[in-house]
Amino acid sequence: MKRILVTGATGKQGSAVVYELLKNNFEVFALTRNPRSSKADNLKKAGAILVEGDLEDTEGLSDLFKKVDGLYLVLPPVWVSSKETDEKEAEIGIRTIKLAEKQGIKFVLYSSVLGSDKQDLFRPKFKFTIEKYLLESTLQGAVIRPASFMENLLLPSFGLGEGKFINPLPEETAISWIATNDIGTFARIIFQHDKEFNGKTVDLGGKLFTPKQVLKLLEKKLNQPIDFVQVPLEALYQQSETFAKLVEMIGNEGYDPIDYEFIATWMPKLTGFEEWLDEIGIKKIKELRSMDN
């Protein structure tokens, strides 16, 4: 398991996987729609083999799939989800797995999302559809379900660049968070131990925080107050019914408990929220604010 293709290679998660694999002597093919971007150039400088391509043109990737042992499959994020975008994602994911099966890829690691199985009740064709297809196929493979990315706090939708914390989640519901670098590390561990992980689904996340706890941590680290803006559920329904139903699910049921003991047997230390803020987050938030001013 030495030659790995990483899709979405210039994204937060994909690039974390690429860099981690390169550091551990894997040969990495980085799939990107724009190999001339600065992010793609950084991957190339680190030693990745850039491949221009798009999972929507699966057949165009046939020769590439023949060259690799493993596939890290992460699909492009959709910020305003709908029944149509869910179905399209499921279709692309399954088509990609079929090609991996046809071209003899030895192991596929699919990155899904925490709680994908619970979302299946109101998203009948989505990430859980892809998970089931992979694990029921003839391929060797595994699924990881990352929790909310700490890096998502840097997106404009959270408003930190403007001194706000815009929160769409239930105010008192604690959820798990993960740094994307930790996803990269865990993915590398899985590729190094593919036999032990074959057929497994791993929920991957760290300590639970409520939105108000995240706010307090941000205020402490920035040493200033931040406006807490709670987005009403009605407003979420106007933007995206599927996302609103996800928020309702989190409020009513929460996520299933993460098996921290299992994670710790393979990766003893995940990045803590405070540690991430100290090393990466606060600097990036200040950069956002300087850009807005």
What are the pLDDT digits (tens) for 38-91? 999 999 999 999 999 999 998 899 999 999 999 999 998 888 899 999 999 999
Q: Is 15 a member of any domain?
A: yes
Instruction: Please tell me the total count of domains within the chain.
Output: 1
Of the two residues 290 and 274, the one the predictor is more confident about is: 274
Mean pLDDT of 149-174: 94
Q: Is 284 a member of any domain?
A: no
Q: Is 285 a member of any domain?
A: no
The dihedral sign for the CA sequence 98, 100, 105, 107: negative
Q: Is 50 a member of any domain?
A: yes
Q: Which residues of 243-259 are buried (b: 16+ CB within 10 A; e: fewer)?
A: bbbbbebbeeeebeebe
Q: Which domain holds residue 118?
A: 3-147+178-204+257-270
Q: Is 170 a member of any domain?
A: no
Single pTM value for the model:
0.96
Q: Is 142 a member of any domain?
A: yes
Cβ–Cβ < 8 Å for 109, 144: yes
Q: Is 80 a member of any domain?
A: yes
Q: Is 70 a member of any domain?
A: yes
Mean of all residue pLDDT scores within the chain: 95
Say if strands 208-209 and 175-178 run parallel, antiparallel, or are unpaired. Answer: antiparallel
pLDDT digits (tens, 9 = 90+) for 124-144: 999 999 999 999 999 999 999
CATH code, domain carrying 114: 3.40.50.720
Provide the pLDDT for residue 293: 58
